[in-house]
Amino acid sequence: MVYIASWQEYQEAAENLYKKSPNKARYCVKWRSSEGKLVLKITDDTTCIKFKTYSSIFLNRFEALNLSLMQKMQNKRPAPIVHALGVPDTSKEADQTRSSSPLVAQPAGPAAGGVKKKKPKKKK
């Protein structure tokens, strides 16, 4: 097991390890609130890479790495932008707008994980 001190090196190594063997790669996150320690580990049974931090500064970077790895694990690509004519836009401007935001809009409500109100019990 190798602890990598630099976040940039860890992120590149983790993404490359997943690209090399996507079917065998495993990603583990450990958080110890008593110590305030975050440990990230990715392995493919032959190579194990770990990153450890006590700093909360890395949380945004950690979230971006999770999003990147989850998109690769789901093998999803952003949906193409459709004009009013129903023809997908394949221009460079459309590619830039899609790649500028990694987050995809989610519908709100019970289907999106919202809380559904319970019906009141009937009186006898």
Write down the pTM of the prediction.
0.56
Instruction: Give the C-alpha separation, 84 to 104, whole Å.
Output: 21
Measured between alpha carbons, how far is 37 from 54 in angstroms, rounded to an integer?
Answer: 5
Query: Tens digit of pLDDT per residue, the chain (124 long)?
Result: 778 989 999 999 999 999 998 889 999 999 888 888 889 999 998 999 999 988 888 888 888 888 888 888 887 665 666 666 655 556 555 455 444 555 555 555 555 556 777 888 888 7
Q: How far apart are CA 11 and CA 64, in angstroms?
A: 10
The Cα–Cα gap between 55 and 36 comes to 8
CA distance 58 to 46: 27
Comparing CA positions, the residue from 63, 75, 74 lying closest to residue 11 is 63
